Amino acid sequence: MLLWVGLGNPEPSMARNRHNIGFMALDVIASRHGFSPWRQRFKGLTAEGNIGGQKILLLKPMTYMNSSGESVQAAAAFFKLPVSDIAAFHDELDLAPGKMRVKQGGGAAGHNGLRSMDRMLGDPNYWRVRLGIGHPGSKERVLGYVLGDFGKEDRDWLVALLDAVADSAALLATDKKPDFMSKVALLTQEPS
């Protein structure tokens, strides 16, 4: 079993925040691949399904971003999953809007959801699906930016990115991460 975690905040008023792109990605994956209805478990919402022959548990922690690790650790412990079977889908300031990268391990880079996961799992070597939202330009503007809603001007690239991630998910599930990144990049490239 693989555990795919979307990072976000549970308040309905925050549903369209840039910080919630991880939740958005899991919603599209669940819908596209016919996952079970969402249900409350592990201090979060879970949905179960299969992609590429792999059983996958989707998890949206309802603990707020800063405590996401509590939910992730509870699910990982219950299923006795190594951190290498966990992937966190999260917003990434250091990637241009609509870009995506996958990496294993690394620092939290100021992301409180990742920081909480690192602390609760005790090992930062889980996979990160970094979903680019761009940077507002100055450090002082970051908090308002990530907690701000996506605008109308973001709709085209956001929908394209979320669709590409869902359409390519079998490559991620079957441990073909470079192919997953390449296919998402191909599906999201601007027409020339």
Concatenate the DSSP letters of all residues of the chain into one string. Answer: -EEEEE-----GGGTTBGGGHHHHHHHHHHHHTTPPPPEEETTEEEEEEEETTEEEEEEEE-S-GGGHHHHHHHHHHHTT--GGGEEEEEEETTS-TT-EEEEES---TT-HHHHHHHHHHS---SEEEEEE----SSGGGHHHHHTSBPPGGGHHHHHHHHHHHHHTHHHHHTT-HHHHHHHHHHHHSPP-
Of 19, 33, 90, 111, which is the active-site residue?
Answer: 19
Q: Is 33 a catalytic residue?
A: no
Q: Compute the distance between CA of residue 48 and CA of residue 113 in angstroms, rounded to an integer.
A: 22
List the catalytic residues: 19
